[in-house]
Amino acid sequence: MMATGLIERAMGESRPLRNGVFVAIVGPSGSGKDTILSYARERVRHRPEFHFVRRIVTRTAAGDAEEHDTLNEQAFAAALQSGAFSLHWAAHGLRYALPKSVDHHVENGSVVIANVSRSMLGELGSVYANVTVVHLSAAPEVLARRLAMRGREDAAAIEARLRRSAKAIAERDAAITLDNSGPVEIAGERFVAILDKAAAFAAVCEQI
């Protein structure tokens, strides 16, 4: 299912928000987005300029899923109505959001890192002036093996996911491509280097 991207804009806000950098990580299921984010979070844990976003999802947290905050459909709708989210979208029968605090961090010059849907990429520039997109990928056989290890889908569903992934790559927006087929340290260090560049850019923006 293709996600639908929606952005709530509060009256009186000045957009796009500047000073900081929003780093969006996207990629197919099995590419290891949560693993790379966890690796990078540990590597820069003592550096306050980085803020890793904990997503809000209408799904109960499970041991094999990302760490996230959970709201049921009714609570999610109420939070959306009250302006509690910076971004929100729907995908695969679930609703996702990033908390409003993301805007505060960007305004104050931080590098904000979040796992988002590809459907949001066309709209991010209207919300945040400085956006870096990192497209995480992996070889098809690696994706298939990782998805099979999760045990959530049968072979037919995994094949369908891989077909969608191939189409997404063919239609990919301008992004930094990062292959995560091998040991996490390889892609993880490359991702940390991308974050370092974003932090250097944010530091310059704050001085302008």
16 is annotated as contributing to ligand binding: no
For residue 123, the number of C-alpha atoms closer than 13 Å in the C-beta half-sphere is 16
86 is annotated as contributing to ligand binding: no
Is the peptide bond between 16 and the residue preceding it cis, with omega within 30 degrees of 0? yes
Q: What angle do CA 105, 12, 87 make, to 5 degrees?
A: 45
Number of H helices, E strands in the chain: 7, 10
27 is annotated as contributing to ligand binding: yes
31 is annotated as contributing to ligand binding: yes
Q: Which two tokens stand for residue 107?
A: 């305004």
100 is annotated as contributing to ligand binding: no
33 is annotated as contributing to ligand binding: yes
30 is annotated as contributing to ligand binding: yes
12 is annotated as contributing to ligand binding: no
Q: Which two tokens stand for residue 130?
A: 């400085």
Contact 180, 40 (CB under 8 A): no
Annotated binding site: 27-34
Annotated binding site for ATP: 27-34
